[in-house]
Amino acid sequence: MKLHIGLTGRGGYTVALVLAVAAPLAVYPVFLMKVLCFALFACAFNLLIGFTGLLSFGHAAFFGGAGYIAGHVLKAWGWPVELGIVAGTLASSVLGLLMGSLAIRRQGIYFTMITLALAQMLFFVCLQAPFTGGEDGQQGVPRRRLFGVLDLSSDINLYYVVLAIFVAAFGLIVRIIHSPFGQVLKAVKENEARAVSLGYDTDKYKLLAFVLSAALAGLAGATKTVVLGFETLTDVHWSMSGMVVLMTLVGGLGTLSGPIAGAIVIIALENKLGDLGAWLANATTVEWFRTLGESVTIVSGFIFIVCVLVFRRGIVGEMGGLLAWARPKAGAQETASAPAGTVRA
Amino acid sequence: MEIFGIPAQALLSQLLLGLVNGSFYAMLSLGVAVIFGLLNVINFLHGALYMMGAFLAWMGLNYLGADYWIMLIAAPLLVGTLGVVVERSMLRWLYKLDHLYGFLLTFGVSLVLEGLFRSFYGVSGQPYSVPETLSGAFNLGFMMLPKYRAWVVIASLVVCLSTWFVIEKTRLGAYLRAGTENPKLVEAFGINVPLMVTLTYGFGVALAAFAGVLAAPVVQVSPLMGSNLIIVVFAVVVIGGMGSIMGSILTGIGLGVTEGLTRVFYPELSATVVFIIMAIVLMLGPAGMFGKEK
Amino acid sequence: MKFKLNVTSLAIAATAGLFIATSASAQVSGDVIKIGFITDMSGPYADLDGPGGVEAIKMAIADAGGAIGNKKIELLVADHQNKADIAASKAREWFDQQGVDMLLGGTNSAASLAMAKLAAEKKRVFIAIGAGTARLTNEDCTPYTVHYAYDTVALARVTGGALAKQGGKDWYFLTADYAFGASLEKDTADVVKANGGRVLGSARHPLSASDFSSFLLQAQSSKAQILGLANAGGDTINAIKAANEFGINQKMKVAGLLMGINDIHALGLNVTQGMYLTDAWYWDGNVETRAWSKRFFEKMKKMPSMLHAADYSAVAQYIAAVKTTGTDDSDKVMAHLRKTPINDMFAKNGVVRPDGRMVHDMYLMEVKKPSESKYPWDYYKVVQRVPGEQAYMTKAESKCSLWK
């Protein structure tokens, strides 16, 4: 038996899928679902930054905005689950269209600042609007039955539904990247002027990428609302936008599976830092580790710094780099990763 | 007496308060603008260092018995030094990359700083009293204006205008502005540009710390005080023109007053009005109201 | 056979392994009685019912012997940072993974509303101590909620009623913009209007606001006689300080609608003398309360508030209920709590009504002048004892579907 370690391959995704299907046996399903939602959020975000080169610092607007819409229609209007999620996704697409058409007009840091400002506006709208519940948030969003048949109050049932949503959305992203549309996006990222000179209306492409990214981020947000049963201002706050940047950066900008790895790491960190601290404290008898649980912000910030300074390709990017180095005679390999460090100016 | 249906007393008092807030916006956005002008970095750290300035004032008082006036000098110096360290050890590796990485780095450092203060001090504010010499209030008839708030306006105006003067009207400022436009050429003239850059960063964040000490008796000294403000400060800088000094000062004050006015007529909008203005301004042109396109 | 591994799967598997390892330690255990306490441990309400509450609960567990029969009693504590989503997530995790039997809700009404819903869904006992909103036993009542110490209706009727009768006709509210502030403002406004007064307006401020000056100036320009502070903890303290700074307290009477002894301690008697407030319990009330407070003071170096006493009492009553019924089944325990009067250090002749409200006497207190205070923490004089039936919402007014 030969052990081939390659960078492509359906094999890899199959292994991941098997793990995902089996996971609820060992791990708390609600936690897994949360990870899946954030992974989708990060993948959607990565579509914009990793493959189109646009850094949006306001993606929480789509994530939380869709969550609020879904929560409202599910709870106050009594819509069925599938329609609620669709409603949320549609809402974030519209929001993406509005925000994108305003933001696309500018480049680089100005683009980022516009997304930040527009997202803040949405935050304050959500703070004031009666249907969001303001500081209280929306509570008690019901799960009910999928298509009137599958009882979602069981965490296991819901998990497989969420997994299916995730796989479908991820598959869509893969298709987008490998399509001619995706190639144009890549061209826009590497050299927009050249793409324009070749006759592409880059603004339209950028806007479409923005809307797609917003739609998928909204799908993630709406699904999360159904899973957890509530929606609060945390999901539209700019620190959530920062968090998705962190996840994508940690996992690997411009790689397909990077954001998934990044989401797993960051969510696990958030939830398990306390346990990790207790374990470290017991293992090393250094009592200070026990307070690690309260220090999620510090650890996240630290990871951010490390990633920006030395670890720019993220987990998946670095592993890809390492494997390439380990097999020098492998020849040209198809990678999905962008050249390290190029974020579009 | 009523203006637009609002009693003049309410209007004037909110305007005056708005002026006080505007002074803070002006000082903070001045620092961000100076740093952006020279380093091309949007300094997310500004909020956290403002918070640190306030905390140093509080710590100085409670642990060392150092009073307000001492900390007003000491805190900016300490924070300025920290800024120099951050710039030298981390930021300078990122200059050759897209300046969004600088933004992300400063974001990361701000998370660490805030997290550290939060784990030691919780999130509720520590009280810091107004220094004796500035306590009491002026009775203006329509409101009582605490003397301290008047001092805030005066101090920040003095600091802002002096900074503007140094940058726009002196030779040192000329070197700085030249260094922004063409660092290689300036270096060829024998000016140590990297040192200038480092010191500029240090100065910019020292301004933030100064604002923090000024703020300590006004707001509660809390680890979250910076993150509440920083996004608004960014908006001010963008509206005023990202590298323009006078732009940030005028916009900062203007925004404080605008917020105050909005609070009288339509209070729910007061938090959003700055972003609406920013979006409009950016739509019309990326350089903001006073800046030049980069 | 070629076996193609992949960076993707390696990365995912590696990171997945990380947390599988750490999750495996959590198990559901049936032979331990687990009590969970979720509150604000580090924010504006931390002094009201944070670390002090934890201490009070530990005292109750210790006094019960640390075990019921051969089952140990274990306490889990979490800080919700005044975020309802953190509270709900933690509570869900505790119910599903840790097998928590009874959840205690600390401060923050929004968090408690969320926890109450969750506890009802999972059919576990939820006792709300620190939160104020009367909604917990009104529109949002559940068969598993007990609202123990106080609520916004009681505060409104006792303080609001007293002030309105004194001649305070025109009110302006400074309200914390979330469930608690909204409830307190509404309930007090109802009392003011019932007494022939008017509400001239209200200014909503975010929880843990840093600067109250603009809200206070709005209040001043309304020309109301009374400024009602529909907030608590750090917000109340800062609002009162700012009111003094801007001279508002000379033009309007400042009424703190929820104040604890720790707030008075932080502000000092000079600032707070003569203020009215409603309290469920006073450390200096009688021999029993003084004895318990002394024990609390030794650990915390501060005198306990009504919330700390309520934490102790609620846990003690729960433990007693489990002991007597011989089970930790939520329905049986709730039934027992409803039919057993509560007579302990915290309340005399307290009764848990069908809507979940624990009804007991409330006290209208006045803050002493500095000259009247003879020893540390001697802050209150009791103006009036208001029987529970008068202080709390009556059956006729209640919207709770369980109490018809």
- CB pair distance less than 8 Å for B104 and A295: no
Chain B positions in Cβ-Cβ contact with residue A117 (cut-off 8 Å): 234-235, 238, 275, 278-279, 282
> Which ranges of C326-356 does DSSP label H, i.e. alpha helix?
330-339
CA distance linking residue C55 with residue A80, whole number of Å = 46
- Chain B interface test: which of A304, A306, A307, A312 (most B C-beta within 10 Å): A304
Local confidence band at B44 (pLDDT 50, 70, 90 cut-offs): very high
User: Quick one: which of C173, C204, C207 has its CA closest to C188?
Assistant: C173
Residue holding tokens 């250090």?
C345
HSE-up of B110 (CA within 13 Å, CB side)? Answer: 27
- CB pair distance less than 8 Å for C85 and A229: no
Task: Give the nearest partner residue to C46 out of B17, B122, B218, using CB atoms.
Answer: B122
- CB pair distance less than 8 Å for A121 and B93: no
CA distance linking residue B142 with residue B137, whole number of Å = 13
Chain C positions in Cβ-Cβ contact with residue A294 (cut-off 8 Å): 79
Region A230-239 average pLDDT: 92
A33 neighbors A271 (Cβ within 8 angstroms): no
Per-residue pLDDT at B251 exceeds 50: yes
Percent of chain A with pLDDT over 90: 44
CA distances from C152 to A62, C28, C393, C402 (A): 36, 37, 10, 20
A124 neighbors A68 (Cβ within 8 angstroms): no
Q: How many pairs of residues across A and B have Cβ atoms under 8 Å apart?
A: 122
Q: What are the tens digits of pLDDT across the range A242-283?
A: 999 999 999 988 888 899 999 999 998 887 777 777 677 777
Query: How does B53-77 read in b/e, with b if 16+ C-beta sit within 10 Å?
Result: bbbbbbbbbeeeebebeebbebbbe
Per-residue pLDDT at A342 exceeds 50: no
Q: How far is C81 from chain B (nearest CA, A)?
A: 8
State whether residue B290 is helix, strand or coil. Answer: coil
Q: What are the tens digits of pLDDT across the range A281-335?
A: 777 766 666 666 667 888 888 888 998 888 888 888 888 777 777 766 544 444 4
Q: Which residues pair with C353 in a beta bridge?
A: none
CA distance linking residue C351 with residue B202, whole number of Å = 64
Mean pLDDT of chain B: 86
User: Quick one: which of C271, C259, C283 has its CA closest to C376?
Assistant: C283
User: What confidence score (pLDDT) does residue A341 get?
Assistant: 41
Task: Give the nearest partner residue to C7 out of A229, A272, A316, using CB atoms.
Answer: A316
CA distance linking residue B286 with residue A117, whole number of Å = 14
List A residues 155-214 in contact with C (Cβ-Cβ < 8 A).
155
Local confidence band at B12 (pLDDT 50, 70, 90 cut-offs): confident
Chains with ≥3 CB–CB distances under 8 Å to A? B, C
At residue B127, φ and ψ (nearest 5 deg) are: -75, 145
User: What confidence score (pLDDT) does residue C4 get?
Assistant: 37
Q: What are the tens digits of pLDDT across the range A148-181?
A: 888 888 888 999 999 999 999 999 999 999 999 9
User: What confidence score (pLDDT) does residue B3 get?
Assistant: 63
CA distances from C268 to A84, B137, C261 (A): 53, 21, 10
Residue holding tokens 């990763």?
A337
DSSP string over B92-105: GGGTTS-HHHHHHH
User: What confidence score (pLDDT) does residue C25 get?
Assistant: 40
CA distance linking residue C149 with residue C28, whole number of Å = 31
> Which ranges of B40-134 does DSSP label H, i.e. alpha helix?
45-59, 68-89, 99-121
CA A36-A38-A39 angle, 5° bins? 60
User: Quick one: which of A20, A103, A57, A48 has its CA closest to A253?
Assistant: A48
- CB pair distance less than 8 Å for A229 and C1: no
C309 neighbors C56 (Cβ within 8 angstroms): yes
Q: Does B14 touch chain C (CB under 8 A)?
A: yes
| Pairing mode, strands C2-6 and A2-6 | parallel
State whether residue A254 is helix, strand or coil. Answer: coil
C364 neighbors C278 (Cβ within 8 angstroms): yes
Task: Give the nearest partner residue to C246 out of B122, B144, B222, using CB atoms.
Answer: B144
A12 neighbors C4 (Cβ within 8 angstroms): yes
User: What confidence score (pLDDT) does residue A144 get?
Assistant: 84
User: Quick one: which of A188, A178, A209 has its CA closest to A344?
Assistant: A188
Q: How many pairs of residues across B and C have Cβ atoms under 8 Å apart?
A: 64
C280 neighbors C149 (Cβ within 8 angstroms): yes
| Cα–chain center distance at C137 | 14
- Chain A interface test: which of B40, B42, B107 (most A C-beta within 10 Å): B107
| Pairing mode, strands C351-352 and C358-359 | antiparallel
CA distance linking residue C293 with residue C288, whole number of Å = 9
C392 neighbors C156 (Cβ within 8 angstroms): no
Local confidence band at A337 (pLDDT 50, 70, 90 cut-offs): very low
Q: What are the tens digits of pLDDT across the range B59-84?
A: 998 888 888 998 999 999 999 999 99
CA distance linking residue C241 with residue C256, whole number of Å = 12
Q: Does B144 touch chain C (CB under 8 A)?
A: yes
Q: How far is C45 from chain B (nearest CA, A)?
A: 8
B166 neighbors B176 (Cβ within 8 angstroms): no
Burial of C300 (0-12, 13-18, 19+ CB in 10 A): middle
CA distances from A156 to A26, A219, B96 (A): 12, 20, 49
Q: Which residues of chain C, if any, have pLDDT below 50?
A: 1-6, 24-29
Chain A positions in Cβ-Cβ contact with residue B114 (cut-off 8 Å): 297, 301
- CB pair distance less than 8 Å for C214 and B123: no
Q: What is the pTM of this model?
A: 0.88
The ipTM of this complex is 0.86
User: Quick one: which of A50, A333, A41, A327 has its CA closest to A188?
Assistant: A50
CA distance linking residue B170 with residue B165, whole number of Å = 7
User: What confidence score (pLDDT) does residue A324 get?
Assistant: 77
User: What confidence score (pLDDT) does residue A338 get?
Assistant: 42
Q: How far is B217 from chain C (nearest CA, A)?
A: 10
